[in-house]
Amino acid sequence: MKDAYVEYKEKLISPDEAASFVKSGDKIFYSEFVLFPEVLDEALSKRIHLLKNIDLRSVCFSRVPKIVEADPKREHVIMNDWHFGTVSRRLHDMNMCNYIPLSYHQGPRTIRKYRDFDVAFITVAEMDKNGYFNYGIANSLTSAVLNKSKKIILEVNKSVPYCYGGLRESIHISQIDYIVEGNNTPLAEVKPATPKEVDRRIAEHIMKEIEDGCCLQLGIGGLPNLIGQMIAESDLKNLGIHTEMLVDSCVDLYNAGRITGRRKSIDHFKMAYTFAMGTKKLYDFLDHNPTCASYPVNYINDPRMIALNNKVVAINNAIEVDLYGQVCSESVGNEQKSGTGGQLDFIFGAFMSEKGKGIISLSSTYKDKDGKLHSRIVPSVEPGSIVTVPRSIVQYVATEYGIVQLKGKSTWERAEALISIAHPDFREELISQADKMKIWIKGSRS
């Protein structure tokens, strides 16, 4: 085999040379989340007006691509995202980005069956002594994309932590086409959201469902961060982590001695995840840390893999829940806000886990721009809204007024349970609506 460092020099090119490989009609992929291919995007933006029908895809763009910024009328680039964050949501509202519906664990299989890419621009850690480039904090769909890419161009960023994996977390230099050295820009940080008082009240109900030996999935936001803090301050022990997204609160839990992974059935003693996003504290924790194991999302989010661990507790946020138990977590009417992501995967997998609990959490109300109070527990999901978790899959729902279990319950029992955790100001109206919908048995109120 050719010496890796010799091959590195042979494959090293300038960003402009790399951009020249993109032709009109090409399908290109940018690396996921905060691993944005900065210098490659900038180089391509210089010549984007010479190109037509470029199909650009990624998972949760962390910044506005310069090639999109340079083409506000979408005459040259069609941008598509597998999961919306702030950037794609804003661009979508400007008619500059499309959402790709996805049940996250099926992403790699979907790509292998139906998608091809002409060029992949992937940000990686610097090459190790064995000639491997590590994907860092985003394993997710990357390996599947590279399997289906005609040309693979890596952007090396020394700020990317080297993240040990359980599977397919790196690519060898012999498998790639070209290398570009980036600016080594520090990775974008996502600060933990400050929890609100309503989050604390919801968290108190959820904490009662967590016991020694549970395997946790925590997402992003004020509530998961607060639950992580409350667990760290508790006397819970021998907890495990098997999660889509690794966040700062997981570091705090580990440092507090709550996370050991001793009771896990798979990936013993490991914090298993598919991508990480947080602050420098998290990125530094991940670097060359054998406590953590990065996997593609078809492993981490496969409900069958999730269920192999006992006592899985998966906690996910929602926008609204209707009286049938349908959960909308990704849109407000026709307005796309995020995506299905792994919520369906983990709610389904947690239920299949021995003594597992899939929990949907939401505040009981919200205020509109005029300050008017609205219920998040509604008779029916708003027209145009996307049902993220169907009623047949939903297990637990929690608000600041309590937590209810819906499995095995009839439509009127579900309605009764959900109304019991709705804001008191809306309960009578919800009862009236349930009666009109023929899902409320008169005299059934306790």
Nearest CA among 407, 376, 292, 389 for reference residue 346: 389
- For residue 187, being part of any structural domain is answered with no
78-86 CB contacts, 8 Å cutoff, 24+ apart: 78/53, 78/54, 80/55, 80/56, 81/57, 81/339, 82/57, 82/58, 82/107, 82/141, 82/339, 83/59, 83/338, 83/339, 83/341, 84/60, 84/330, 84/336, 84/337, 84/338, 84/339, 85/60, 85/61, 85/338
Exposure string for 123-140, b = 16+ CB within 10 A, e = fewer:
bbbebeeebbbbbbbbbb
Rounded-to-integer distance, Cα 321 and Cα 8, Å: 53
Rounded-to-integer distance, Cα 119 and Cα 122, Å: 10
Residues 175 and 236 in one domain: no
Last residue of a domain, one of 181, 206, 225: 181
Exposure string for 238-248, b = 16+ CB within 10 A, e = fewer:
ebbbbbbbbbb
Residues 88 and 214 in one domain: no
Residue with tokens 């507790």: 313
Model pLDDT, residue 446: 47
Residues 203 and 176 in one domain: no
Cβ-based neighbour number of residue 93 at 10 Å: 11
Last residue of a domain, one of 147, 181, 215: 181
Helices (runs of H) and strands (runs of E) counted in the chain: 16, 24
- For residue 101, being part of any structural domain is answered with yes
Residues 209 and 170 in one domain: no
Model pLDDT, residue 192: 83
Could you list the active site residues? 244
Where do the H-state alpha helices sit in 100-247? 107-114, 142-147, 197-207, 222-232
Rounded-to-integer distance, Cα 217 and Cα 350, Å: 9
Residues 236 and 177 in one domain: no
Q: Is the pTM of this model over 0.85?
A: yes
The H or E element spanning position 42 is helix 38-45
Rounded-to-integer distance, Cα 160 and Cα 183, Å: 12
Number of domains in the chain: 2
Residues 36 and 129 in one domain: yes
Residues 422 and 290 in one domain: yes
Residues 380 and 327 in one domain: yes
Rounded-to-integer distance, Cα 137 and Cα 313, Å: 23
Nearest CA among 324, 289, 279 for reference residue 34: 279
- For residue 38, being part of any structural domain is answered with yes
Residues 173 and 291 in one domain: no
Q: Are 359 and 396 in contact (CB under 8 A)?
A: yes
Residues 241 and 173 in one domain: no
The token pair that represents 56 in the structure block = 């650009």
- For residue 168, being part of any structural domain is answered with yes
Residues 212 and 250 in one domain: yes
Model pLDDT, residue 180: 98
Residues 155 and 203 in one domain: no
CATH code for position 292? 3.40.1080.20
Distances (CA, A) of 102 to 165, 195, 297: 24, 29, 12
Rounded-to-integer distance, Cα 132 and Cα 118, Å: 22
Mean pLDDT by groups of 10 residues along the chain of 446 residues: 90 98 98 98 97 98 97 96 96 95 97 98 97 97 98 98 96 98 96 90 97 92 88 96 95 95 97 97 98 98 98 96 97 91 96 98 96 97 95 98 97 96 97 91 55
CATH code for position 133? 3.40.1080.10
Last residue of a domain, one of 131, 150, 181: 181
Q: Are 63 and 190 in contact (CB under 8 A)?
A: no
- For residue 87, being part of any structural domain is answered with yes
- For residue 442, being part of any structural domain is answered with no
- For residue 120, being part of any structural domain is answered with yes
- For residue 441, being part of any structural domain is answered with no
Exposure string for 189-221, b = 16+ CB within 10 A, e = fewer:
ebebeebeebbbbbbebbeeebeebbbbbbbbb
* Helix, strand or coil, per DSSP, at residue 341: coil
Domain that holds residue 236: 197-436
